[in-house]
Amino acid sequence: MKRIIWANDGTAAADRARPMIGTLVASTGARVTVACVHRDWRIGHRPVLVDDHQPVEQELRERVDGLRADGIEADLVVTTDEGGHPAQLIADLAEEQDADLIVTGNHGKGAVAGLLTGSFTTHLLKVAHRPVLVVPWRPPAGQVST
């Protein structure tokens, strides 16, 4: 294994994949690309909800620095979704970088919320031509998933 894409949106669910990334790199020596897709909502060509992505990008840079501090070769790729689905953009990046594996965390929204808001993970599993490893979300002991 030479390249792992870590789909990371800066959330706790994505960060739950970090220990698995470390384990995979320790056993394979793979390089890690931390990949994030910013989504700006539009009506036609007009932006409606545009977030300031700077804080997320800074957090992701810190994650890359943490990987490097642990001796892992890592880089960051950030793109903006301009009409495509974020999962498709991650799958395309995996193809471009000839990645051996895509790793992502699961938000654990549940079936109803997933139907209403869509599921990045479900879509990624449908469109990716590379293996996908999903690290499940599990609430802390005693907490119920919402």
Domain assignment present for residue 145? The answer is no
The per-residue pLDDT for 49 is 45
Domain assignment present for residue 62? The answer is yes
The mean pLDDT value for 56-79 works out to 94
Domain assignment present for residue 123? The answer is yes
Of the segments 38-52, 93-107, 111-125, which one has the largest average pLDDT value?
93-107
The mean pLDDT value for 100-128 works out to 75
Q: Is the pLDDT of residue 1 over 70?
A: yes
108: helix, strand or coil: coil
Phi, psi for 77 (deg, rounded to 5): -125, 120
Q: How far apart are CA 63 and CA 8, in angstroms?
A: 10
Q: How many helices (H) and strands (E) does the chain have?
A: 6, 7
Task: Determine the distance from the C-alpha atom of residue 139 to the mean position of all C-alpha atoms in its chain, rounded to a whole number.
Answer: 19
The per-residue pLDDT for 17 is 92
Q: How far apart are CA 110 and CA 91, in angstroms?
A: 23
Domain assignment present for residue 141? The answer is no
Model confidence band, residue 115 (pLDDT cutoffs 50, 70, 90): very low
Query: What is the tally of structural domains in the chain?
Result: 1
Distance, first Cα to last Cα, the chain: 36
Domain containing 110 — which CATH number?
Answer: 3.40.50.620
pLDDT tens digits along 74-95:
999 998 776 678 899 999 999 9
Provide DSSP, 111-135.
Answer: HHHHHHH--HHHHHHHH-SS-EEEE
Residue 33's CB: how many other CB atoms inside 10 A?
22
Domain assignment present for residue 142? The answer is no
User: What is the domain range of residue 10?
Assistant: 3-135
Domain assignment present for residue 143? The answer is no
pLDDT tens digits along 15-41:
889 999 999 999 999 999 999 987 655
Q: Which residue has the higher pLDDT, 22 or 44?
A: 22
Domain assignment present for residue 140? The answer is no
Sign of CA dihedral 32, 36, 101, 88: negative
